[in-house]
Amino acid sequence: DKALECYTTIPEDEATPSLHDNIAYIYIMKGMYAPAIEELEIALKYDPYDEIANRNLISIESKLKRELLRSSGLQEVKNNLARVRLSISMSYANRGDLIKAKQTLKSAIDLKPDDDELLHLLNDGCEKLSEKFAKKGDKREAGTILGWQRDLAKLERTK
């Protein structure tokens, strides 16, 4: 708690990607995955190739998959797993690996999350990934992902 307190008092304009990686690691060790994911996303905005941040996202995913099995499919765990997979997907996309980004995004959507904020984030992720495929000239893949986006929008409206 002391380390976290020290790290989180550093002004954002002085923060570095490694600072966010360290804060995320503390959150991971405490089992606080949502704030860890947020910190890792900040680190990845600075550097999409940040190995530590990418590795920590995969670590969170692994922990949540085990937790999902133990919890017999508890919806909260599904939501958390979908959230980390969205982050992993966007990381792949920002590094140019659109196929892995698409597969990971689909696996997040397939968990059928029920959190409104997460559904909105997934919707945004679909839009961003679709745009990346369209820029690459792959209209078919872009269209597939836009279909997912429409399905997510329906889920948001029915809640």
Give the tens place of pLDDT for each residue, 96-149.
999 999 999 999 999 999 999 999 999 999 999 999 999 999 999 999 999 999
What whole-number distance in Å separates Cα of residue 16 and Cα of residue 37?
16
Whether the Cβ atoms of residue 49 and residue 68 lie closer than 8 Å to each other: no
Return the amino acid letter for 143. Answer: G
Which residue, 20, 60, 59, is CA-closest to 40?
A: 20
Other beta carbons within 10 angstroms of residue 159's beta carbon come to 9
Q: Report the CATH architecture of 1-70.
A: Alpha Horseshoe (1.25)
6-47 pLDDT, tens digit each: 767 776 777 788 889 999 999 999 999 999 999 999 999 999
Residue 6 or residue 91, greater confidence: 91
CA separation for the pair 3, 85 (Å, rounded)? 27
Q: The dihedral of CA 31, 33, 35, 40: what is its sign?
A: positive
